Structures are given as C-alpha cells and as structure tokens.
Structure 1
Amino acid sequence: MSTYVYGITRASGTKFPAELTGVGQRPVRAVEESGLAAIVSDAPEELTPKRRELLAHQTVLGHAGAAQTVLPMRFGSVSDDDGAVSEVLAERADHFRERLDALENTVEYNVKATHDEEAVLHRVMADNPALRAASEANRAAGGGTYDERLRFGEQVAGAVKEREAEDAHLLREALEPLANDVSPGPESTGWLANDSFLVDRDAAQRFVAALDEFQKAQPHLELRVSGPLPPYSFVG
C-alpha cells in the first residue's frame, strides 16, 4: 500500500495520540531513519483535495508542529511504501537536518495584495496632476473625442500599473525587516503581490501588528493574510 507523507521531523519524541487520524481517516505513524522521522499514514486508494482531507492534512501537521519543528509536505505527497520513505530519509538526511535547524521555531505568513479599484483610481488621480488636467479638459469638451477618451483610459491604466509595482515594493519593504526570509509566490493576474514571510514565532505578534499598520496607511489596498502556517515555502 502507498504511503502518504505529511512532513519530516527529528525522530526524538515522535508520538501521536491514538485518536489522531490523517487523510482517509487513516491512523498516523512515524517512519524513522538516520535520526529523522517521516510523519505518515497509509494513503487512501482515491485521494481528492476535498475540504475534509485538506483539514486532516493540516491537523496532523498542526499536532506535530506544536511539539517540534516539522518540514511540511504539500497535500498529496505519496510514496510507494514505507521502505521508499526510509530510503529518502537516509539519502537526504544532511539536507533535512539543515532545513530543520534553519526553520527552528518559525512559522510562515502568506500575504496577498490587490487594489480596491475605486480607491486606487482616486489615489492615482490625486497623485498625478497631468491626469487630472486631462480629465478636466475632456470634461470641459463634453467628454472629449473617442481618441481622447481612449488615450486618457490608457494613461490611467498605465498609472495604475505603476502603482501596483510601487505598492508591491512598499508592502515587502514594510514587512521584510520583521522576517527571516521572503519567498515570492507564483505570479498571478489576480494579485499585485503574493509573498510568503518566514517569521520567528516570538515575532509573530509584531509581524501581524505591522500588517495592520500598513493596511491603515494604504487603504486603497486589500490584503489577504494566511498564517501562522507551517513553513511550506521554505522547506527547499
């Protein structure tokens, strides 16, 4: 039977309560090798990313991570069997130990940002005298010609695009000093910024407070914050 892998930690003290179950409601156990332990269970025959299974994955990692540092695996990580897991632990033991040391007592916060469309248009117009002048000229001319309206729209779109880059920089500039590391997420047309921050547990409250202050100072931005999470983006 295939083995589902939740994460990797140090072998000492890897114990799980009998009532803790993972995906497919399978009992959780540890595969130990070279002083390391892979947190695993039997993999269900059909694994689908349903909410119940995703929560089970997170629950197992949350339990393990409360006691010691864990290198979390993404949902759906499956190996052939326990023997194959042991082989990987042995082959990459030095790398896993280095990552465990580097991620000791840390959590991840993922921060995504987008613009409030109406608010950013007000901000762009307020900050750009040339755009205000063009808008007023078009209004005085009864709206302006088609070409004038098209050109004005392109100018506004360009100014918003520049503002996206500026705001992404400002966000990272505000949060990076409070983090040990930053991992940019995949680019998406839905977000102007998508960054994950590796934060010491002891600094988590200061990080969240800095986020709140940034949001108050930049009301034209909408932030979506996920965390504290296991440090998925920094396992390597």
Structure 2
Amino acid sequence: MIYLYGLAAAEETVLSGMLTHAQGLQGPLKLAHIGPWCLIYSDHDDQEILPKRRLLLAHTRVLETVLPICTILPARFGLVAQDLAQVSALVEENATEITAQFAKVTGAIELGVRISFPRQVALDAALQSDTQLYAQQVALRKRGPEAHFAIAEFGGRLADLLDQRRGVAQRATLAALRPLTRDHVLRKPEEDTEVLRAEFLVDANAQDSFQDAVAATAAKLDFAPGAEPLIQMIGPVPMYHFVRLNLGLDLDQAAA
C-alpha cells in the first residue's frame, strides 16, 4: 500500500530537489507523474497510523516543504491507497474536479488570522457604551454581595452586550478584508474578546499588503478603545480549508 501526501502542480525534477532531505511517515518520499500533476507519496505497511503529534507534524512538514515552489492539493492525514494504479485511475476519473480545484488556488496561499483584545478593556468599553447597564453596575456595587441574583442577571446582560459588540467588530473586519482575498472561512471564536478567527485565501504576491491591512483594520476597531490588538497570523499553511485531494477512496482505506 502507499500513503498519500498530496498532488502537486510541478515537475518531478523540481520536487525531488526540494524533498531530498524530507522524510515520510514510514520511509523515503516518492514521486509519480499522474496526468499533468505529480503525486507525493511513500510506502505504507498497512498498519494503523494513529494521529500522534509527531506523525501529524511529519505529514504537514512534507506539504510545507513544497508550498514555496508550487500549488498542492493536500491529502488528509492518514489517507492510503492500494497502489499507484488505483490512484492513477481515481485521478483520471476526478480530473475535472481536480483541475477546478487547482484553478481556484493557483498563485494563492492560505493564511489564518486571529484578532483579540484585552478582556478588561473590552468589558469597560461595553459598559461605557450602555448607560443603563453602567448605572446598574454602580447600583450593584452599593448593594454588596447579598444581591447575588441581580449580579448574575447583570453579568448575563454584560456578556450579551460584549458578544454583540464582538459581532459588530467581526463584521467590520470582514468587510474590510474580504475584498483583498479570494475566499475565506469564518470560524467560531474561542474567547469572547476574539473578534476574528478565520482562514483566508490570499494571492501569494499580496501577502504583505494583506497583513498590513489586517493590522490597520484591527487598530481602527472600537471594540476596546486604546488597547493594542493582539494579532496572530498563521501561515502560509497547506490549503485544507479551500481545497483537498479528494479521490473518493473508501473511509476504511484511511489509516486514521
């Protein structure tokens, strides 16, 4: 059996030079031309491949090694096939879809963007934006801890207001960044002060200008006035959120 990493739009000679020192999960990497593309794979011993961190990183490193020189449709971790003949037949069968996926992402990169703000500053800004809620907070401070039911109700209202303001900031950020990208995938925030958690498909030659736009947009938000936005840029990374090598292999042929 063979283990699949991805299908690349590059010549075998170019890829072989880049992958000379890279290692597969269970041995040396191999290349095979299939149609106009090149398959990156390695031998597989038919044993279960568990999603351990070491193996996940090894899979990702193979893809990241070739990202700077070509477009690649990444295979999901653990995808295996019987042999090259099976993969070749499936690639030929799905050639139209594969061609469309390459067209979608050629010349692009995937970048993850996370924007958040210090929580206390965001909470203070929320209170300042609602005079009634601010007055309720002042009154509760005078009543003391015995007003626990009123305090709980106040906390719920403040949380709702913070979420509303976060939503406004998220929409404003997306409105500013969307025209600079080919596509995006919005993800659920992990914290109530994270105004954006998203993956973007960006032209590779526009990476610097996109990152500048992220910083400028975050700085203009009034979600937490006066606070420095906490910005995390991730990537370029394999474009799993926008394309994937999908050959219709049965689920029981996945090693993970």
Give the TM bin, normalised by the shorter chain.
Answer: 0.7 to 0.9
TM-score (norm: length of structure 2): 0.79
| Superposition CA RMSD, Å | 2.6
Aligned to 2:253: none
| 8 Å CA contact retained: 1:106, 1:199 | yes
Hey, what's the Cα distance between the residues in 2 that align with 1:220 and 1:133? 27
Aligned to 1:91: 93
| 8 Å CA contact retained: 1:108, 1:231 | yes
Aligned to 1:16: 16
How many angstroms does 1:200 deviate by? 0.5
Aligned to 1:226: 234
The amino acid across from 1:201 in the alignment is A
Higher-RCO chain (CA-CA 8 Å, sequence separation at least 6)? 2
Residues 66-122 of structure 1: CA distance to partner in whole angstroms, max 9, x if unpaired? 322111223222223322211221111111112112211110011234553322211
| 8 Å CA contact retained: 1:31, 1:85 | no
Residues 118-165 of structure 1: CA distance to partner in whole angstroms, max 9, x if unpaired? 222112112211111111222344567333323222211211121232
| 8 Å CA contact retained: 1:181, 1:199 | yes
Q: Which runs of 5+ in 2 are unaligned?
A: 222-226, 245-256
Matching of residue 35 in structure 1 with residue 36 in structure 2: yes
Hey, what's the Cα distance between the residues in 2 that align with 1:90 and 1:199? 29
| 8 Å CA contact retained: 2:173, 2:218 | no
Matching of residue 235 in structure 1 with residue 214 in structure 2: no
Hey, what's the Cα distance between the residues in 2 that align with 1:51 and 1:166? 37
> Aligned in 2, Cα 1:162/1:41: closer, same or farther, shift over 3 Å?
same
> Aligned in 2, Cα 1:113/1:13: closer, same or farther, shift over 3 Å?
same
> Aligned in 2, Cα 1:37/1:116: closer, same or farther, shift over 3 Å?
same
How many angstroms does 1:198 deviate by? 0.3
TM-score (norm: length of structure 1): 0.85
SS state at 1:27 partner? coil
The amino acid across from 2:106 in the alignment is E
Matched positions, count: 233
Hey, what's the Cα distance between the residues in 2 that align with 1:100 and 1:20? 24
**What are the equivalent positions in structure 2 for 1:2-151 lying under 5 Å apart?**
2-10=1-9, 12-13=11-12, 15-17=15-17, 18-24=20-26, 26-43=27-44, 45-114=47-116, 116-142=118-144, 145-151=147-153
| 8 Å CA contact retained: 1:179, 1:197 | yes
How many angstroms does 1:53 deviate by? 2.5
Hey, what's the Cα distance between the residues in 2 that align with 1:217 and 1:195? 19
Matching of residue 175 in structure 1 with residue 177 in structure 2: yes
Q: Which runs of 5+ in 1 are unaligned?
A: none
Hey, what's the Cα distance between the residues in 1 that align with 2:60 and 2:89? 25
| 8 Å CA contact retained: 1:6, 1:39 | yes
Hey, what's the Cα distance between the residues in 1 that align with 2:152 and 2:61? 53
SS state at 1:66 partner? coil
Amino-acid identity (%): 27
The amino acid across from 1:232 in the alignment is Y
SS state at 1:5 partner? strand
| 8 Å CA contact retained: 1:138, 1:144 | no
Moved more, 40-49 or 70-79: 40-49
How many angstroms does 1:204 deviate by? 0.2
SS state at 1:148 partner? helix
Hey, what's the Cα distance between the residues in 1 that align with 2:59 and 2:171? 33
Matching of residue 214 in structure 1 with residue 222 in structure 2: no
| 8 Å CA contact retained: 1:36, 1:89 | no
| 8 Å CA contact retained: 1:131, 1:156 | yes
Hey, what's the Cα distance between the residues in 2 that align with 1:157 and 1:20? 48
Aligned to 2:157: 155
